[in-house]
Chains A and B, each alone.
Chain A
Amino acid sequence: MIKRFIEPIGRYCLFLKMVFRRPEKWGIFWRQFVLETDKLILSSIVIVGVISVFIGGVLVIQTASNMSNPVLDRMLVGYMVRETLVLEFCSTVVALILAGKMGSNIASEIGSMRISGQIDAMDMMGVNSAGFLVLPKVMSATFLSPLLMLFSFALGLLGGWCVVEMTDIIPAAKYISGIKYAYNGFYVFYSGFKMSLFCFLISSISAYNGYYADGGSLGVGASSTRSIVVTSILILLFDLIVTQLMLY
């Protein structure tokens, strides 16, 4: 039982050691980095944007309906929407969505290369297959994902503003002053850091599962499913840990 938990962790660490070996040629690394950024980050912009706009809008309505007490300043609606977005939604919830999108993409891509022998072929040339295939993905996901978080934050606030403009739940000026109220830059850093960490977990764990896929196309499917389940749980776990460490 214990072995079943410890063994994959050990293999995962050895895998990371292979991934972080110095690239044979930096030129090749950067070329792959650009390709992966396009595939992992840029292609996620639309889904992240759409979800953020809608959640921002919904949050405004829900928060307003929960704070109908006339003693409370309506400006607080904007303030609470902003805090909810930056603290939890833009990093954790967006990361959970990316765990599905990015994770299944990485695991199935690398997994099918494994079962069709392409990874063996690379190894046999003397190329560090883990480094070539995985390092650009992990780097791109880890260092550029905070941009997705900022983008999601901006569109979430925009979504809220659209609802405010289109309805008369609260005055637009109150919403605007609410989202400017008691701004704490550290929260943005905290959220970006979380996003970066989550995307590191997503990319490296999915790559690990794909890299060691076996059992034909069924195995590739299984590795992709396993990646999403494992990373989703780890994201929630690390959310708790990081929040405890950074906010208290």
Chain B
Amino acid sequence: MIKVEHLSKSFGDFNVLKDISTDFRPGMCNMIIGASGSGKTVLLKNLIGLMEPDSGEIWYGGKRLSEMGYEEKSSLRQNIGVLFQGSALFDFETVLGNVMFPMNFFTDWSMEQKMERARFCLDRVNVKNADDKYPSELSGGMQKRVGIARAIAMNPEYLFCDEPNSGLDPYTSGLIDKLIHGITREYGITTVINTHDMNSILEIGDRIEFIYEGRILWEGDRHSILGTDCQELRTFVGANVLARRIIGG
């Protein structure tokens, strides 16, 4: 469980996040949705501590992120998996090396054990026969999968995904969505997903926060989103042809 209280963040005069309060629950795909530039990535970076909020608090379990020291943060982070917008695979490591990277630092496993675990994670995301390839040799969809495999390598309690299906074809992005959803249910992970993709929202949005000009305007789930009477959300949803037919207007 992650709790956010009155979080604000500005860049110079530009107030990106304004007084955000919400929580993210285990075993669910918690989605942060909104237009490009609405502040989703900034919110995510604040959540995981890559940016410092100007004010407000973030709680992991019963602990405040802002009060953690270096050691405590490091051990929390071993419990966090992140899939970045551009996958951010290490280009000096092979696919297998990427997935084994965190294990090298935080486990005392033998080489065989690490390889076994890495192969298990890669299997889980349907990456086969790519162990010795370098990230630059992979397609975008493959890179995302390897990114997910690396994110779940250490069995995290929390999983953050920044636009997991941007730049993918609808079919592949559907697969990635189901993958994330499946893993979340299977291991009871607290998953937070940034997206503006209506397909994923309707498919796996267990909880949805709609963020508009730095505020959370609407909270709900994939069943209630089409019946919303929040005007800004209707405009956002209505940009999708099929959804527009359903909500009318």
Contacts and interface: CB of A to CB of B under 8 A. Distances in A.
Interface string A124-154: 1111100000000000000000000000000
- Size range of the chain B interface in the assembly: 20 to 34
B85 A117 contact: yes
B105 A116 contact: no
Interface string B131-174: 00000000000000000000000100000000000000000000
Given A118-B90, A120-B50, A121-B90, A127 B85 contact: no
Contacts of B82: 121, 124
A117 B74 contact: no
A127 B88 contact: no
A117 B82 CA distance: 11
B78 interface: yes
Nearest to B45: A120
B86 A116 contact: yes
Contacts of B80: 124
A28 B88 contact: no
Interface in A92-134: 116-118, 120-128
Interface string B68-80: 0000011111101
Interface in B40-97: 48, 50, 73-78, 80, 82, 84-86, 88-91
B104 A25 contact: yes
B74 A126 contact: yes
Residue from A116, A124, A127 whose CB has the most chain B CB atoms within 10 Å: A124
Given A24-B105, A25-B105, A28-B105, A126 B88 contact: no
B74 to A, nearest CB: 4
B28 to A, nearest CB: 21
A126 B81 CA distance: 10
B91 A124 contact: no
Nearest to A31: B104
Contact of A125 (B77, B85, B86, B91): B77
B50 A123 contact: yes
A126 B73 contact: yes
Contact of A28 (B73, B89, B104): B104
A127 to B, nearest CB: 5
Contacts of B89: 118, 121
Nearest to A126: B77
A24 B102 CA distance: 11
A123 B90 CA distance: 13
A120 B49 CA distance: 10
A118 B85 CA distance: 11
Contacts of B86: 116-117
Interface in B182-237: none
Nearest to B48: A124
A122 B76 CA distance: 14
B221 to A, nearest CB: 28
Contacts of B102: 125-127
Contact of A116 (B76, B88, B154): B88
B167 to A, nearest CB: 15
Interface in A8-33: 24-25, 28
A127 B90 CA distance: 13
Given A125-B77, A125-B78, A126-B78, A118 B91 contact: yes
Interface of A: 24-25, 28, 116-118, 120-128
29 contacts: A24-B106, A25-B104, A28-B104, A28-B105, A116-B86, A116-B91, A117-B84, A117-B85, A118-B88, A118-B89, A118-B90, A118-B91, A120-B84, A120-B88, A121-B89, A121-B90, A123-B50, A124-B50, A124-B80, A124-B82, A125-B77, A125-B102, A125-B106, A126-B76, A126-B77, A126-B78, A126-B105, A126-B106, A127-B101
Given A25-B104, A121-B90, A123-B77, 20 more contacts: A24-B106, A28-B104, A116-B91, A120-B84, A120-B88, A121-B84, A121-B89, A123-B50, A124-B48, A124-B77, A124-B80, A125-B78, A125-B102, A126-B74, A126-B76, A126-B77, A126-B102, A126-B105, A127-B101, A127-B105
Interface of B: 48, 50, 73-78, 80, 82, 84-86, 88-91, 101-102, 104-106, 154
